[in-house]
């Protein structure tokens, strides 16, 4: 998959359906249906990651097509052993803050994702890593180093288009939990 940015740069992703099959199918389904076109990388956390949180260039959030089960060990899914290191793409899930136990957020991924700029061992087994950047890490690092207010990028970077190349992979309709 290729994420074409408004800057003219491209981030090329390699996805691993053998590690997180439903997560990959969901991500591909969302991309194929245009969900990521016009969305932005709206957050950068300490030069460690950039996040696409479902906001468009005007800062308006668009709800994705449902929520999926967490494909990581804390949620009882054992085949995903991908480490969270530089270049890893991982699905975001609802935060377990607000006094709720973490397990209440395990099955809440809804299309938001992050790309890591460095290692994040605390995410291993707690979030669904499902691919990695194979080209365009310079763009990721530049976005991560951009000025922020808190974690919000002062100039979010728009994804002009998400282009899917299945390379022989045949996704299935993703299983939605809500």
Whether residue 9 is predicted with pLDDT greater than 80 in this model: the reply is: yes
pTM to 2 decimal places? 0.95
Check if the beta carbon of residue 87 is closer than 8 Å to that of residue 132: yes
Class of domain 2-163: mainly beta
Query: Which pLDDT tens digit goes with each residue over 117-144?
Result: 999 999 999 999 999 999 999 999 999 9
Q: Which residues have a Cβ under 8 Å from the Cβ of 65 and sit 6 or more positions away?
A: 26, 29, 30, 33, 35, 110, 111, 176
What is the four-CA torsion angle of 91, 79, 141, 58, rounded to 10 degrees?
A: -10
Q: Distance between CA 155 and CA 137 in Å, rounded? A: 19
By C-alpha distance, which of 162, 160, 164, 163 is closest to 7? 160
Mean pLDDT of 142-171: 95
Give the domain ranges of the chain: 2-163
């Amino acid at each position: 998959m290729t994420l074409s940015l408004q800057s003219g740069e491209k981030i090329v992703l390699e996805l691993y359906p053998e590690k997180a099959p439903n997560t990959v199918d969901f991500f591909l389904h969302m991309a194929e249906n245009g969900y990521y076109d016009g969305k932005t990388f709206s957050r950068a956390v300490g030069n460690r990651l950039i996040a696409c949180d479902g906001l468009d260039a005007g800062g308006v959030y668009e709800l994705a097509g449902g929520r999926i089960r967490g494909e990581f060990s804390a949620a009882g899914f054992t085949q995903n052993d991908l480490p969270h290191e530089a270049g890893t793409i991982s699905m975001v899930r609802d935060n377990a803050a607000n006094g709720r136990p973490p397990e209440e957020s395990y099955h809440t991924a809804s299309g938001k994702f992050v790309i890591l700029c460095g290692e994040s061992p605390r995410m291993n087994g707690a979030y669904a890593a499902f691919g990695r950047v194979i080209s365009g890490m310079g763009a990721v690092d530049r976005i991560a180093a951009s000025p922020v207010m808190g974690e919000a990028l002062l100039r979010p970077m728009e994804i002009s288009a998400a282009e899917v190349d299945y390379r022989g992979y045949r996704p299935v309709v993703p299983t939605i939990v809500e």
